[in-house]
Amino acid sequence: MKSFKAATVDEYIAHQDEAFQPMLNQIRALIRANAPKAEEVISYQIPCYKLNGMLVGFGTHKKGCSFYTMSTTILKEYADSLEGFDFAGSTLHLPLTKKIPVTALKKIIKQRMYMNEIKAMIKKNKKPK
């Protein structure tokens, strides 16, 4: 298949296989509901959300969708809530055969917003006067 570079999240989702689109739309809605001030962008050819830096993102893989936490440690903290799901580094793999762990993803999004806010505050305070 020819490489496709989406300019918007709508284009990205529309270009994906129909089987993936409902889950992609559900992940997108979950992010937008829990981080309404986040800017929706395409970065590294996937939908991402920025709020005081990169927040989270999502995409597809062979058997389902991926949720990118942009943090290499956060998924380990939620391992109990994500039992039955595979994850590596900052990526949670969501097979099409399972329901999205909505409660865990909401908590992860909120924690990522908090983490980014703290980083932004520290960065602001370190600037020379």
pLDDT, position 26: 98
What is the model's pLDDT at position 4? 76
Per residue in 55-97, pLDDT (tens digit) is: 999 999 989 999 999 999 999 999 999 999 999 999 999 999 9
45-61 confidence digits (pLDDT tens): 999 999 999 999 999 99
3-state secondary structure at position 74? helix
Burial of 109 (0-12, 13-18, 19+ CB in 10 A): buried
Q: Which CATH class is domain 9-126?
A: alpha beta
Q: Could you tell me how far CA 24 lies from the centroid of its own chain?
A: 10
**Among 2-16, 21-35, 36-50, 61-75, which stretch is predicted with the lowest mean pLDDT?**
2-16
Q: What is the pTM of this model?
A: 0.91
* Domain regions of the chain by residue span: 9-126
